Amino acid sequence: RSKKNLKICGAISNMYAMLLARYKMFPEVKEKGMSSVPRLVAFTSEHSHFSIKKGAAALGIGTESVICIKADERGKMIPSDLERRIIEAKQKGYVPFFVSATAGTTVYGAFDPLMAIADICKKHDIWMHVDGAWGGSLLMSRKHRWKLNGVERANSMTWNPHKMMAVPLQCSALLVREEGLMQSCNQMQACYLFQQDKQYDLSYDTGDKALQCGRHVDIFKLWLMWRAKGTIGFEAQIDKCLELSEYLYNKIKDREGYEMVFDGKPQHTNVCFWYLPPGVRYLEDKVEKMKRLHKVAPVIKARMMEYGTTMVSYQPQGDKVNFFRMVISNPAATFEDIDFLIEEIERLGQDL
């Protein structure tokens, strides 16, 4: 049975999941602190969001206790490497307590193999968290929800309606399988705020579940939009964004001057590609070509911002030089907008 608790952002939702996993395994940590528990280690993909390490730092677990698992060429966590690293950690005397799988990585939009990861977590008795901040909303889509197969086996999940569903910032949900765990983990029973003899049902008094005291009622924005659009409305919105990203991919995958960062159709709306201007396209010296190409995306983005026509993010990844990462999450976007984007990149990069 899952309970939904609204937090301020995906990073905090991920930290709450880590907090709950630690408390579930070692409830004494709440009163006695980290000195009462053994050396804990967490596991996440090398392509995961930085908030996993940030959460470990904030909770006193330490960033060095977060072990990054290898991802394949599409950015998905490799389950065999996860199990290998868990066994290795146990042999060193560490206690694995938390695995964070990612449903929709920030750069590639990759979905980790949740079913295989769930099997490993069950085998080794480790809390399984799914960071679905970016990709979790695909559960709304009958066409695309298969990408999250296995999420129902997780102990917790982060989901950000303020991303793919366009709910105004901030609106992030943490879904927790075990009812009452968040309350027992975080409650301080401050009698001057959380009286037990109120005239209404105390289950509505959720403030003692959270680390914050006062905060916005973020769930109202989601509730209001869901009432207005319905699940079918959100589904249409999400399907359209994925259709637009596939349209962009199909337009540029074989177009002269474009090169995809990884083979195959993107799983999410992240379309990762290089634009090679004529001055770079025909260089035979590979080292010089990569050196020049690394500078292309930043210059084109700067020009985009100067002209005010569009803006597309870029970044390097591992040994890959700067590439464009076009992410489509605005349901108002059109096929004509995608056509314009391609033409604009070529116009702004012709002389490079």
Q: Among 186, 216, 246, identify where a domain stops.
A: 216
Report helix, strand and coil shares of the chain as percent, to nearest 5.
45, 20, 40
Nearest Cα neighbor of 48 from 146, 129, 148 is: 129
Report strand pairing: 172-176 vs 3-7. antiparallel
Judge if 270 and 192 occupy the same domain: no
Residues 210 and 243 grouped into a single domain: no
CA 298 to chain centre: 24
Whether residues 82 and 119 share a domain: the answer is yes
Assign residue 294 the CATH number of its domain.
Answer: 3.90.1150.170
Pairwise CA distance, residues 114 & 130, whole Å: 8
- 208, 301: one domain: no
Q: Alpha helices, DSSP H only, in 26-147?
A: 29-32, 51-58, 79-91, 114-124
Q: Please indicate, yes or no, whether residues 191 and 248 belong to a single structural domain of this protein.
A: no
Check residue 306 and report its DSSP letter.
H
Q: CA Rg, the chain, in Å?
A: 22
Is 171 a domain residue?
yes
- pLDDT tens-place values along the chain, 352 residues long: 344 455 557 889 999 999 999 999 999 999 999 999 999 999 999 999 999 999 999 999 999 999 999 999 999 999 999 999 999 999 999 999 999 999 999 999 999 999 999 999 999 999 999 999 999 999 999 999 999 999 999 999 999 999 999 998 889 999 999 999 998 998 887 677 777 877 788 777 777 788 887 778 888 999 999 999 999 999 999 999 999 999 999 999 999 999 999 999 999 999 999 999 998 998 889 999 999 999 999 999 999 999 999 999 999 998 999 999 999 999 899 999 999 999 999 999 999 9
Tell me, yes or no, whether 244 and 113 share the same domain.
no
**Is residue 330 one of the residues assigned to a domain?**
yes
CA distance 30 to 212: 16
Please say which residue of 157, 183, 216 terminates a domain: 216
Which CATH number do you get for residue 75? 3.40.640.10
Q: Are residues 114 and 182 in the same domain?
A: yes
Measured CA to CA, the distance from residue 31 to residue 212 in angstroms comes to 18
Same domain, 12 and 133: yes
- Specify if 200 maps to a domain: yes
Q: Does residue 226 sit within a domain? A: no
- Could you give phi then psi for residue 320, rounded to 5 degrees? -90, 130
Ramachandran angles phi, psi of 199, nearest 5°? -80, -10
- Given a contact cutoff of 8 angstroms between Cβ atoms, the answer to whether 264 and 273 are in contact is no
Q: What is the pLDDT of residue 5?
A: 53
Tell me which residue range forms the domain holding 280.
237-348
Q: Which amino acid is at 232?
A: I
User: Is 224 within the bounds of a domain?
Assistant: no
Distance CA 101, CA 112 (A): 6
User: Which residue blocks in the chain are alpha helix, DSSP H?
Assistant: 10-25, 29-32, 51-58, 79-91, 114-124, 181-186, 219-252, 278-281, 286-293, 296-307, 335-349
Question: Is the residue at 222 inside a domain?
Answer: no
Residue 1: the pLDDT is 38
Same domain, yes or no: 35 and 109? yes
228 lies in some domain: no
- Decide if 227 is inside a domain: no
148 and 69 belong to one structural domain: yes
The predicted structure's pLDDT at residue 169: 86
Same domain, 206 and 244: no
| Judgement on whether residues 291 and 206 belong to the same structural domain of the protein | no
Split into its structural domains, the chain has a count of: 2
Contact indicator for 100, 131 with CB cutoff of 8 Å: yes
